[in-house]
Chain A
Amino acid sequence: MTEEENEMQTDSLEQGTRKSKVRPVIRMTEKTRSAKKLAEGCDCAIVKSENFGFYYGSQVGVKNITMDIFPCSVTAIIGPSGCGKSTFLRSINRINDLIPHTHIEGKLLVNGHNVYDKNTSLVNLRQQIGMVFQKPNPFPKSIFDNVAYGPRLQGVKNRSLLQQTVEESLRSAALWDEVKDDLKKSALALSGGQQQRLCIARALATKPNVLLMDEPCSALDPIATGKIEDLIDQLQKDYTIVIVTHNMQQAARVSERTAFFCLGELIEYDTTVKIFRNPGKKQTEDYVTGRFG
């Protein structure tokens, strides 16, 4: 893929923010794209939501969500504040369980298994589904201990195995070169962007299938954001990534499919190109073009 192609692709999507010249976003080739299209056809969605609804007491979080999330791709969820995109994301690994007095309806399947089934092992589920939060939240421990936290929970005690996992995860999160000399250093001594990449590495260390990202760049400066976006592009080869974002340019840059949520409902879900270029619904168009009122 040449620089030109790259620019052509992004040109129409990124109106105004033309930073891609400074840091070219690594994109999939058309070949892998079509391969994925094929995969979509054969209904092998890794996360499948069927009329899913989530309620805080009597208040609606989300309702009637029906969407499939496909493996090895980036799915972005956009929408105005309070539209339930984070609620939906946090329902996938059931981290919303911390909130009392909630209930759900419908089904949410991960790998064909209902997440809200009574027999679901939360531990297994959450090890399958990694999560990266809005604000970088490394534990107040050393870098090594942060990344090794997940494997240790799984019972890995072997030092060399741990070291290997930590290195792999940090490499995957493109942080290894920056921290390899000082893994004993406290994670909180890192910069914000490094901390967020560390959190990604921490999530990767449990070898999940799905990576949930809840506005991972909202607390970061543009340079750090760029690094995270590059990282997301690299990771989608191996992981299914669901990213919630407020930044529409970011959704356009990194994702392959985009879902638009509004007032707790899924308005439109399609390929990113279609959502941004030729949205099917008026509401989506208004939001994407900035006329949302």
Chain B
Amino acid sequence: MKTKFRTIFDRLFTGVSAFSAVLLTAILLIVLGPMIIKGSTAVFFRGTVEFRKLQRDEFNRGNNTELEKEIEPAEKTRRFVYEIIDSFKRGVDPQSLTDQVRQLNRQYGQELRSKGITGDDYRDLREAARQIRDKLEETFNSADKDLINENIGFVLELKKDERFKGTAVEEMFTIADDFGRAIEEIDLQKREKYAQSLAEVEDILFGSEQMPGLLGPKPGDKLPQTIRLRYGATRWDVAKKLLNDLLYPVQWVEIENGKPLVPQRHSRAEEFEGTRLEPLFAYIENELPEMLKPKLTFYWQYFVDKSIDSHYFGGVGPEILGTILLTITAMIFVIPLGVISAAFLVECSANNLIIKIIRMCINTLAGVPSIVFGLFGLAFFVLYFLPAFGAGPKGSILAASLTLAVLTLPLMIRASEEAIRSVPQTYKEASLALGAGSFKTFVKVTLPAALPGILTGIILSLSRVAGETAPVLFTGAVAMGTLPRSILDPTMTLSYGSYNIATGDNIGMQVPHKQFGMIVTLVLLILLLNAAAILLRSRISKKLKGMR
């Protein structure tokens, strides 16, 4: 009976442990899986012709003639979009037409003066042009179809006047003519609504202040200052999202009185039903692949490129470099200090009150939140310690890595202490019995034998150092800038970079793949560093066990 129970308990124990192992693996997969999949889209994606343009302009990459060959048909397909929007805009946007006409009128005045026409002729012609301008302005802002037709008829009558041929006034006639035809299809009551929706369409297609558009700025327009606005959708997934917004805009509707508004999508094409803009949407939907030419892209340069326009484009090269630099510099401080302190705690000291207090302090330090270390680093290393040696009171790699070193030192000391303590006493005795001093014994026997355990400490510290954000926040990390030239310059890091993308800008919303990419890069980097350390550790412990 008793044995039966024992077997059941044994099986239960085995089952529970197997289950927890499976659970852990599943949790790991659930956490890391989606992140890695999303992060990989920073490197693997369908890049459009805009992406290749960007690569050419910013990194001098790719074959220019081939790219031109690609751009040309794309531009040809896009031309229809530009034309149809321009012509539709004439009907609904009185303000821009008014501005245009006023500009032409001023131009005409200059033309006349440069031709040397003076006196009565000049006065007559100016008067006529002004009259045309006024009539047109009235027309553009009117909602009365009869008035519009009358005014346009009046203006077009003047077209017969030979004197206006080849001048700026002739363009005014063209505008009037176009407007007349554009207005025929438009329900004038809806003009304002059209204008509003058209502005949205234009923003989505050509980019607004905040967001790059689907196709990029219209050819002939002034190039925007912000680099991200100079290009259309560089990625096919972004393009598809924009297309959806274009075709089916979101509207917040009140379904029930007093209830919160609910987003609903409706068809944009229906909004423009009956106008000449209506076919545009079907055209864009069908021809978008032709306009953007998506191609499967492996953007491995993501890991070496610098970021462009605060991580909107480009890669994380400087961040990787900065993280590695920071980690190495911190480890240069942590490893010797940690090992020496641990050696002192184990070997050289009697177990008295002071040592107990020191050990307690170390244990407490290991549990202090990292932001506290960050502020300490700012107050001590950045503002006091380094300036004492002539460095400016600014964040630097040195200050940041010193802060990180202080942060992980307790961890390192504890791991090394355990490792040194676990070296068999007989090794020490053997060495001492051969006439070695305690220092020689430590260096030649204890340290090599403790190396696997110390390496475990190094692995833990390494991961901590590479991934910490808070300590470097104030002490040496920047979001953007040039590559550090010396150890006294601040640097970009992966951890701070992803923090910054998430909080500093709304870039995290616009280019989530960049953020995931950065996080995955960080995870991969730490994994890589760890893999190297673990490999080294297994080699050493194999050697220590006499297996090699």
Q: A residues within 8 Å of B by Cβ? A: 93, 95, 98, 100, 122-127, 129-131, 133, 135, 137-141, 149-150, 153-154, 185-189, 199, 202-203, 206
Contacts and interface: CB of A to CB of B under 8 A. Distances in A.
Contacts of A95: 429, 432-433
A188 B433 contact: no
Of residues A133, A149, A185, which shows the largest number of chain B Cβ atoms within 10 Å of its Cβ?
A149
A93 B444 contact: no
A130 B431 CA distance: 11
Contacts of B424: 137
B289 interface: no
B543 interface: yes
Interface string B534-548: 000000000111111
B433 A203 contact: yes
Of residues A126, A139, A202, which shows the largest number of chain B Cβ atoms within 10 Å of its Cβ?
A139
Nearest to B424: A137
A137 B437 CA distance: 18
Interface in B196-233: none
B11 interface: no
B334 to A, nearest CB: 25
A93 B430 CA distance: 12
A141 to B, nearest CB: 8
B435 A139 contact: no
B434 A133 contact: no
Nearest to B548: A186
A127 B435 contact: yes
A122 to B, nearest CB: 8
Closest 9 A-B residue pairs measured CB to CB?
A: A188-B546, A186-B546, A137-B426, A131-B433, A127-B435, A140-B544, A189-B546, A126-B435, A150-B434
B79 interface: no
A123 B548 CA distance: 32
A98 B432 contact: yes
A158 to B, nearest CB: 19
Nearest to A195: B546
Contacts of B433: 93, 95, 126, 129-131, 133, 203
A98 B350 CA distance: 11
Interface in B488-545: 543-545
Nearest to A146: B430
A130 B350 CA distance: 27
A203 B545 contact: no
A226 to B, nearest CB: 24
- Grouping DSSP codes into helix (H, G, I), strand (E, B) and loop, the B interface class, with mixed when no group exceeds half, is helix
Interface in B426-485: 426-437, 440, 444-445, 448-449
Given A98-B428, A133-B433, A154-B435, 10 more contacts: A98-B429, A123-B435, A125-B435, A126-B432, A129-B433, A131-B433, A137-B426, A149-B444, A186-B548, A188-B546
A122 B439 CA distance: 14
Interface of B: 350, 424-437, 440, 444-445, 448-449, 543-548
A129 B435 CA distance: 9
A217 to B, nearest CB: 16
27 contacts: A95-B429, A95-B432, A95-B433, A98-B425, A98-B428, A123-B435, A126-B432, A126-B433, A126-B435, A130-B433, A130-B434, A133-B433, A137-B424, A137-B427, A137-B430, A139-B427, A140-B449, A140-B543, A140-B545, A149-B431, A149-B444, A153-B435, A185-B546, A186-B545, A188-B544, A199-B430, A206-B434
B448 A133 contact: no
Given A100-B350, A133-B429, A150 B545 contact: no
B80 to A, nearest CB: 78
Contacts of A203: 433-434
Contacts of B431: 139, 149
Contact of A133 (B426, B436, B449): B426
A24 B424 CA distance: 36
Contact of A206 (B435, B437, B449, B544): B435
A127 B433 CA distance: 8
A146 to B, nearest CB: 9
A96 to B, nearest CB: 10
Nearest to B430: A137
A153 B427 contact: no
Contacts of B428: 98
A41 to B, nearest CB: 32
Contacts of B435: 122-127, 150, 153-154, 206
Contacts of A186: 543, 545-548
Contacts of B436: 123, 149, 153
B239 to A, nearest CB: 61
A24 B36 CA distance: 72
B437 A187 contact: no
A186 B547 CA distance: 7
B426 A140 contact: no
B430 A139 contact: yes
B546 to A, nearest CB: 3
B429 A126 contact: no
A123 B449 CA distance: 22
A122 B434 CA distance: 10
B429 A139 contact: no
A127 B432 CA distance: 10
A185 B547 CA distance: 9
Contacts of A130: 433-434
A202 B445 CA distance: 14
